Amino acid sequence: MTIKPLIILPDPVLRQVSAPLERVDDAVKRLADDMLETMYDAPGIGLAAIQIGVPRRILVIDVAKEGEEKAPQVFINPEILGASEDRSTYEEGCLSIPDYYAEVERPAAITLRYLDRDGAERQMEADGLLATCLQHEIDHLNGVLFIDHISKLKREMVVRKFTKAAKLRGSKAI
């Protein structure tokens, strides 16, 4: 397993729409394992493949609480079949937008269809933090970031800040 470098805002790669995986083979399992290792190292509770520059519809999540045993989950070609009218608000963050957090409102519960790490088709109901995390990561597969769900003013501020930081990183490299 390998820890991969994370793609950071405002890299346009984050705006790409990821393509479905045609089969779950050893290469896909390796990708899932690398993603989990990268996520745990960060540390984070969710990661989409596009965040390490791979435009494929796969994401990994572990919403186990601190002190609890690890509970890695792999979702391949996830599809939201239904969402509750009830909504809930979480303070979200993103490994591609480090150290920035904002409250985002989303459906409180979803029904999801996906393939697991072994390629088996599964369906699940998710609520609480898992539902939020799944929606956040599925957004990534569609080139959508959590800052797209906050006010335009706040979003522009964040993008400006990260664009400036990226320029500074660039100039240091010269």
Closest residue (Cβ) to Zn ion? 94
Contact status, residue 111 vs residue 146, Cβ threshold 8 Å: no
Q: Which of 66, 92, 125, 137 is catalytic?
A: 137
Residue with tokens 């400006």: 160
Closer by beta carbon to Zn ion, 94 or else 138: 94
Q: Is 103 a catalytic residue?
A: no
Closer by beta carbon to Zn ion, 21 or else 133: 133
Cis ω before 72 (30° cut-off from 0): no
- Interface stretch with Zn ion, choices 2-10, 14-22, 86-94, 162-170 (CB under 5 A): 86-94
47 Cβ neighbours under 8 A, 6+ residues apart: 35, 36, 38, 39, 59, 60, 61, 95, 137
Closer by beta carbon to Zn ion, 6 or else 115: 6
Does residue 94 belong to the site contacting Zn ion (CB under 5 A)?
A: yes
Report the catalytic residues: 137
